[in-house]
Chain A
Amino acid sequence: MIALEARDMVRTLDGDPPATLVAGASFSVERGRFTTIIGPSGCGKSSLLYLLGLLDRPTSGALLVDGEDVTPLGGDARARLRLQHFGFVFQFHFLLPEFTALENVLLPIRRLGALDATHASERARTLLAAVGLSGKEGKTPDRLSGGERQRVAIARALANDPQIILGDEPTGNLDSKNAANVVETFKSLAHEENRAVVCVTHDPKIAEAADVRIAMLDGRIASIETGAVAM
């Protein structure tokens, strides 16, 4: 089942000279698969991911989420979609510094407002426990290690049970053990929970473990490979 479909998406920046970040990307992202985007630094991977996550708008072309064209949607509608259907994990954990681990995970839950306070807090605790952070709910980010922060960020990305999870080098700052954990988490989100997981990465090991590899070069899609590479 196709979760995201890019149709000739182009993203340019005005300037002198104008810069082309993404030059006509057409592909689809399926549920139940762990998809990676790879390519040399500066080829436009992050830019493409922002477009897929409705954080940025394509200069031309279209993006379909679950078969529906979201390109014409206004800012509030896009924010609503991000809140309910998208989870982001970035290379730098991006937690709010004044909020504890629990409060950070609670942010999207409270903003959505579907759960009452008790259930919301229960859900946030469960999510933190799932990434192995039981007992650290009350710590602010400055009291957590890099790996722990990244796991809080993952728990937060999953807070509203989104169907599409996007990572931009989520393991870039982690040691190999922590990185392997994150990859396992992402794979099981795709395989066991049938979500669409898209991950930008520089790490060949992660790319090899993926179901789909989208290789980029100079803003273009150079190739799309399916099937895990045998190790």
Chain B
Amino acid sequence: MIGARLPLLIDIAIKHLAGRKRQSVVAVFGVAVGVGFFLAVSALMVGSQNDFITRLIDAAPHIVVTDEIRSPRPQPGTIAFPRGAVILRHFKTRTEARGIKDWPALVAAADAVPGTIASPSLSGGITLKLGGHEEALGVIGIDPEKETRVSTVESNLRAGHLRDLETTQGGLVVGEELAARLGVGMGDVVAATSASGATRSLRIVGLMKRGQTAIGDTSGYVLLREAQSLLERPFIINRIGIKLRDPYAADPVAKRLEARFGYKAQSWQERSSDILSVLVTRNVIMYTVVSAILLVASFGIYTAVSTSVSDKRRDIAILRSIGFSQGDLQLVFVIEGLIVALIGILLGWMLGFGLMSALGSLRFPIAGETQYLPLDHGARQYLIAATASLLAGIVAAWLPARKAARVDPVDILRGAA
């Protein structure tokens, strides 16, 4: 039914808009600017947020299992009488040697999930010595092949590779600042002393870039076996880093591992919950700004359509007398709003694309590296902008269009006669 008359109603709407060029152009411009700036702002916000979260996720493994426990182990008495009337408090927990027991089972459990890699490590403190100079070092023993896949250490190396730890007896990777303080470079040998006083030589096989690593300046990597013998804790590890295929599954997986093995398993979400809550605020701010922009755009459409209605009261009466229905006239003016919105959206897309290209070409030198603004070029933002503007346009046109439908032709005819 509506199909046959639609082209005619669209014709009338177009003629109305074309007859009032300035108002139509202003309204279209309002939508275009709204859509364009929405695209630019949201590309920045979404882009920087994605970039930020990627950094957050990649800064450390998605899940870190440590040899800490969040609540003391159940005591023998509690286990023997699970529904006992007595609550035990202030009991002395048995001191246990630190380290993750049965870690091979934990690693196997993690590895069993497809796409998941677990990297066990042991960390402890040693002292590096070169001549009279001493530096404290947190040494982390790793399996280079696994650690490369779990963390970003490898990509933050200025020189050398993690796998060189395997090929060089007593290999060590340290931060370039620490190396500079000790006055050593690639291939140089330093003396390492453990807490118990044992001493051995380590050879520098890799240097980490300054300011790029989460573990800081006073840590270094050695082979896991090396760390276990340096720290005199054979077969022991105290940390497992786990990387998942889907980072957002980290929370439930961490909870499962912790429930099963008792060791504290911290997901990246838990680790950075305070930062994530800041992102929520950021999103609220962004969508508030965006709604304001769209509101302004729909004001433009409302004004354009509503002045069109009051200018065209006579035409409305003519069309009604010819035999157009109230619904026809309401539709004519809704279509006017839609046309303004559609043209505005198309121009806004172009404007937004242009703004994004301009922003994307800006260069920022940060810490000696040229950086570009992280921009999200996803089609999703274009769709959101279009849908929101169309809806706003329909609502903004609907109200004056209802007024058009209610114009009584007889009132107009009486007034003119």
Contacts and interface: CB of A to CB of B under 8 A. Distances in A.
Q: Give the interface SS of chain B, mostly helix, strand, loop or mixed.
A: helix
Q: Give the size category of B's interface with A.
A: 20 to 34
Given A79-B324, A94-B318, A96-B315, A113 B417 contact: no
A86 B417 contact: no
A46 B414 contact: yes
B101 interface: no
B6 to A, nearest CB: 11
A75 B321 contact: no
A55 interface: yes
A148 interface: no
A39 interface: no
Contacts of B328: 79, 111
B323 interface: yes
B323 to A, nearest CB: 3
Contact of A55 (B16, B321, B326): B321
Contacts of B325: 75-76, 79-80
Contacts of A113: 4-5
A187 interface: no
Contacts of B413: 46, 50, 55, 90, 168
A97 interface: yes
A192 interface: no
Contacts of B324: 79, 83, 111
B3 to A, nearest CB: 10
Contacts of A84: 323
Contacts of A92: 416-417
A113 B323 CA distance: 12
B198 interface: no
Best-surrounded residue of B4, B319, B321 (most CB of chain A within 10 A):
B321
Best-surrounded residue of B16, B321, B323, B325 (most CB of chain A within 10 A):
B323
Contact of B322 (A46, A75, A97, A111): A111
B354 interface: no
Contacts of A168: 413, 417
Given A98-B16, A98-B18, A111 B5 contact: yes
29 contacts: A46-B413, A46-B414, A75-B325, A79-B320, A79-B324, A79-B328, A80-B323, A81-B323, A82-B323, A83-B322, A83-B323, A88-B321, A90-B413, A90-B417, A92-B416, A92-B417, A94-B318, A94-B416, A97-B315, A98-B16, A98-B18, A107-B8, A107-B319, A108-B322, A108-B323, A111-B5, A111-B322, A113-B5, A169-B417
Interface of B: 4-5, 7-8, 12, 15-16, 18-19, 314-315, 317-328, 409-410, 413-414, 416-417
Given A99-B15, A111-B8, 11 more contacts: A53-B321, A76-B326, A79-B328, A82-B323, A90-B416, A90-B417, A94-B321, A94-B416, A96-B319, A97-B19, A110-B5
